[in-house]
Amino acid sequence: MLPQDPVMLLSVINLKLRDYYPDLASCCEDLDVSEPELTEKLAGIGYRYDAQKNQFV
């Protein structure tokens, strides 16, 4: 289960993207989370997905 706190969620997702997944779509599919909901939640704290870096920045 992923953290509900957006800052903790950011940390977990960036770690998983860095260490385990080639892109956000693969990560979301494997973790069974909605990509739009995830990006919206992290946008709420000022982060957006950068595909070139494969991280939320």
What does the alpha-carbon distance between residue 41 and residue 22 come to, in Å, rounded to a whole number? 21
Does residue 1 have a pLDDT over 90?
Answer: no
Where do the H-state alpha helices sit in 1-57?
6-19, 24-31, 35-43
Domain ranges for the chain, please list them: 6-56
Model pLDDT for residues 4-28, shown as the tens digit of each residue = 999 999 999 999 999 999 999 999 9
pLDDT of residue 13: 98
Residue 36 pLDDT class (50, 70, 90 cuts) = very high
Instruction: Give the whole-angstrom CA distance, residue 47 versus residue 56.
Output: 6
- Residue 5 confidence (pLDDT): 97
Task: Give which of 26, 30, 34 is closest to 54, Cα–Cα.
Answer: 26
Q: Is the pLDDT of residue 34 over 90?
A: yes
Q: Are 11 and 18 in contact (CB under 8 A)?
A: no
